[in-house]
Chain A
Amino acid sequence: MMKSIKFQVPAKERMCKGAVVIIECPEEIACDPCGSICKHNAISLNSVNSVPEIDFEKCRGCGLCVQFCPGLAIFMAAYNKDKAYVTIPYEYLPIPMKEQIVTVLNRDGTVICKGRVTNIVNREKSIGDTPTVTIEVPEEFAMDARDIMVDRVE
Chain B
Amino acid sequence: MKVNGIANVRTCITQARQDMVVNTQKGLPHPKNIHRAVKEPLALTSDIVVIGGGPAGLKAAIAAAGSGADVMVIDENYMLGGQLVKQTHKFFGSTDYYAGTRGTEIARLLIGSLRQNKNIRVMLNSVVVGFENDNIIQVNAEHGERFITIQYKKVIVACGAGESMLKVTNNDFPGVYSAGAVQTLVNVYGANIGKNVIIIGAGNVGLILAYHLLQAGTNIAGVVEVMPQISGYYVHAAKIKRHGVPIYTSHSLCNIEGTDRVEKATIAQFAQDASPIPGTEKTFDVDTVALAVGLQPNYRLCYQAGCKFKYVAGLSGYVPIRNKYMQTTKADIYIAGDCSGVEEATTAMMEGEITGIKAASDVKYSSAGSLERMEFLIEQIQEFRHTERSKKIREGIAQVIR
Q: Which residues of A pack against B, CB within 8 Å? A: 1-2, 5, 24-33, 36, 47-49, 68-73, 91-93, 105-109, 128-130, 146-147, 149
Q: Which residue of B lies closest to A106 (CB)?
A: B242
- B28 is an interface residue with CB less than 8 A from chain A: no
Whether the pair B93, A2 counts as a contact (CB closer than 8 A) is: no
15 A-B pairs in the complex with CB atoms less than 8 angstroms apart: A25-B235, A27-B235, A30-B385, A32-B95, A33-B95, A33-B100, A48-B94, A49-B383, A71-B239, A92-B214, A92-B215, A107-B238, A109-B243, A109-B244, A147-B243
Q: What is the interface size of chain B, counting residues whose CB is below 8 A from a CB of the partner? A: 36
Whether the pair A70, B387 counts as a contact (CB closer than 8 A) is: no
Whether the pair B92, A30 counts as a contact (CB closer than 8 A) is: yes
**A29-B387 contact in complex given A109-B245, A128-B90, C-beta closer than 8 Å:** yes
Q: Which residue of B lies closest to A147 (CB)?
A: B242
- Residues of A close to B245: CB separation below 8 A: 109
Whether the pair B242, A107 counts as a contact (CB closer than 8 A) is: yes
Whether the pair B234, A47 counts as a contact (CB closer than 8 A) is: no
Whether the pair B229, A1 counts as a contact (CB closer than 8 A) is: yes
A36 to B233, CA, bound (A): 21
- Residues of A close to B238: CB separation below 8 A: 2, 24, 73, 107
Q: Which residues of B pack against A, CB within 8 Å? A: 89-95, 99-100, 102, 214-215, 217, 229-230, 233-236, 238-239, 241-246, 346, 383-390
Q: A29-B235, A33-B95, A71-B233 are in contact. List 16 more A-B contacts (CB 8 A).
A: A27-B389, A30-B387, A31-B92, A48-B383, A48-B384, A49-B383, A70-B89, A71-B236, A92-B243, A105-B243, A106-B242, A107-B238, A107-B242, A108-B241, A109-B246, A130-B90
Q: Which residue of B lies closest to A50 (CB)?
A: B387
- Residues of A close to B383: CB separation below 8 A: 30, 47-49
A128 to B236, CA, bound (A): 17
Most buried by B among A30, A49, A130: A30
Q: Which residue of A lies closest to B386 (CB)?
A: A49
Whether the pair A30, B243 counts as a contact (CB closer than 8 A) is: no
Q: What's the least CB distance linking A131 to chain B, in Å?
A: 12
- Residues of B close to A47: CB separation below 8 A: 383, 386
- Residues of B close to A5: CB separation below 8 A: 234
Q: Which residue of B lies closest to A73 (CB)?
A: B235
A97 to B367, CA, bound (A): 52
A11 to B160, CA, bound (A): 48
Q: What's the least CB distance linking B166 to chain A, in Å?
A: 24
A129 to B91, CA, bound (A): 12
Most buried by B among A32, A69, A70, A147: A70
Whether the pair A30, B90 counts as a contact (CB closer than 8 A) is: no
- Residues of B close to A146: CB separation below 8 A: 242
A61 to B240, CA, bound (A): 25
Whether the pair B384, A26 counts as a contact (CB closer than 8 A) is: no
Q: What's the least CB distance linking A106 to chain B, in Å?
A: 7
A27 to B235, CA, bound (A): 8
Residue in contact with B233 in the complex, picked from A29, A33, A129, CB distance below 8 Å: A29
